[in-house]
Amino acid sequence: MKNILWFIYILFFISSAKGEYYRFDPHGRNFSRELNKFFEPVFNKGRMQIYRIKKEGGFKEIPPSLLGHLVKIKKNQWKVISPENLYEKIPYSLSTQSILEKISEKNVREHLEFLIERSSRKMGTVGNHETANYIENFLKNYGYRTKRECFKKNACNVVGIKKGELDEYVLIEAHFDSVGALKAGADDNASGASALLEMGRLLSEKSFKRGVIIFATNGEEDGLLGSKYFVKKAESSGLLRKISFFINMDMISWNKNGIVDIETDRDFEEAARWMSSIANTYTTLRPEITMPAWGSDHVPFLKKGVPGVLTIEHWKTKSPCYHKSCDKLDTLNIPYLLEIIKLNMAASLYKLSE
């Protein structure tokens, strides 16, 4: 039955493929030979790789494994804005800067070391459970009301909530699971989880107009399972409509050119431009905007119309240890990581207070 369904899918793909555009999601795989054989490149900037099937046929020979990495996309859906076209700044705030100066490299390194020393953080493992405990205990110690949201056996998100004056929230998220390599997953995504905890610490020290949700999501590497579950549950409870803005952090500590990718959907381009102005004002980063969103925990929120962005290292120069056992602490660019924390911290402070 599975083979018959796959054959029907292939026939549909072939019949509707000519002239269509496809976004390629490598997800750690290298299909360069197959892509060159069956597809022609159309666009390749930022996190967007767009292809069109060659007209000379041979469709039946396209490997099914490659088709699983291609998503149909309309021509007007993709857009990348390069750093040289993002130069705006916002008015500088001394009070914001004073908080950014409290970001602690020591704290960030301690979180990184704990997460990376787990034998594995893959969803469902002992190390994943230990990491969830570590995050929950940390947030409790800083006054957050915490809860576990378990979407599978031995697979739980950790959520920390701090209320504000209004019944509205800014949500900050990062996934803490890994693909499972032994004592690895430093960039992907111990970096984002460590940033999340440091931001949680700093945001606990002050009261704001809006509340804060610190969302440590699980199962990202298995298909965004934790974020999909959270969004579905939050939509049912009414919490989702109270989230006025969100920031996702994924792979934020490997870089050589200072570029940070800010990713969202076309409906929220202005939010991404605003984030780029924050980067220009408070950091040494060079912002680049990529649209539409794919491949991380910002996607379920954007699909439901919640405004927000992903911050991620420059994809064209991403870590050579992506999804490999060499993704270790000594490969990270800690100063770059701290700059991205500054960006997301400054943006959070504005959104929590406006």
Q: What is the pLDDT of residues 169-198, one digit of tens each?
A: 999 999 999 999 999 999 999 999 999 999
Which residues, at least 6 apart from 234, have a Cβ–Cβ distance to it below 8 Å? 240, 243
Q: What is the pLDDT of residue 14?
A: 46
351 in Cβ contact with 208 (< 8 Å): no
Handedness of CA 227, 233, 236, 239 (dihedral sign): negative
In DSSP terms, 291 is beta-bridged to 79
Mean pLDDT of the chain: 92
Q: CA torsion sign, 123 to 334 to 213 to 354?
A: negative
pLDDT value at position 19? 62
The angle formed by the CA atoms of residues 218, 220 and 223, to the nearest 5 degrees, is: 125
Do the Cβ atoms of 128 and 121 come closer than 8 Å?
yes
Q: Say yes or no to pLDDT of 159 above 50.
A: yes
Paired residues of 41 in beta bridges: 51
Question: How would you classify the pairing of strands 243-249 and 308-313?
Answer: parallel
CA distances from 38 to 7, 8, 22 (A): 18, 20, 12
Residue 2: predicted pLDDT: 45
Residue 124 has pLDDT above 70, yes or no: yes
Q: Is the pLDDT of residue 300 over 90?
A: yes
Predicted pLDDT at 55? 61
CA atoms in the 13 A half-sphere facing the CB of 319:
30
Contact criterion met (CB below 8 Å) for 183 and 329: no
SS3 of residue 313 by DSSP? strand
- Taken in order 270, 293, 200, 86, the sign of the CA dihedral is negative
- As a whole-number percent, the residues of the chain with pLDDT over 90 amount to 82
Q: What is the C-alpha to C-alpha distance for residues 191 and 231, in angstroms, rounded to an integer?
A: 23
Contact 285, 259 (CB under 8 A): yes
Q: Is residue 119 scored above 80 in pLDDT?
A: yes
Which of 4-8, 107-111, 229-233 is least confident?
4-8
| Of 29-33, 114-118, 208-212, 311-315, minimum mean pLDDT range | 29-33
**Residue spans per domain, the chain:** 2-77, 83-353
Residue 7 has pLDDT above 60, yes or no: no
Which residues are paired to 73 by β-bridges? 21
Comparing 42-56, 207-221, 251-265, the range with the smallest average pLDDT is 42-56
Percent residues over pLDDT 70 in the chain: 93
> Residue 118 is encoded by which pair of tokens?
């787990």
Q: Are 157 and 139 in contact (CB under 8 A)?
A: no
Q: pLDDT tens, 166-175?
A: 999 999 999 9
Q: Computed from CA positions of residues 84, 338, 161, 113, in that sequence, does the dihedral angle turn out positive or negative?
A: positive
Cis amide linkage into residue 189, ω under 30° from 0: yes
SS3 label, residue 183: coil
pLDDT in tens, 35-93: 888 889 999 999 999 999 886 555 667 888 888 889 999 988 999 999 999 999 999 99
| Rounded Cα distance, 299 and 265, in Å | 9
Instruction: Report the sign of the C-alpha dihedral through residues 21, 25, 31, 33, in that order.
Output: positive
Distance CA 182, CA 118 (A): 8
Average the pLDDT over each of 237-241, 277-281, 293-297, 316-320 and give the range with the smallest value: 316-320
Mean pLDDT along residues 310-321: 93
Numbers of helices and strands, H then E, in the chain: 11, 13
Topology at the third CATH level for domain 83-353? Aminopeptidase (3.40.630)
| CA nearest to 48, candidates 71, 82, 67, 24 | 24
Handedness of CA 165, 271, 112, 338 (dihedral sign): negative
Quick one: pLDDT at residue 15? 47
Cβ neighbours of residue 310 under 8 Å, at least 6 residues apart?
248, 249, 250, 261, 262, 263, 264, 293, 296, 298
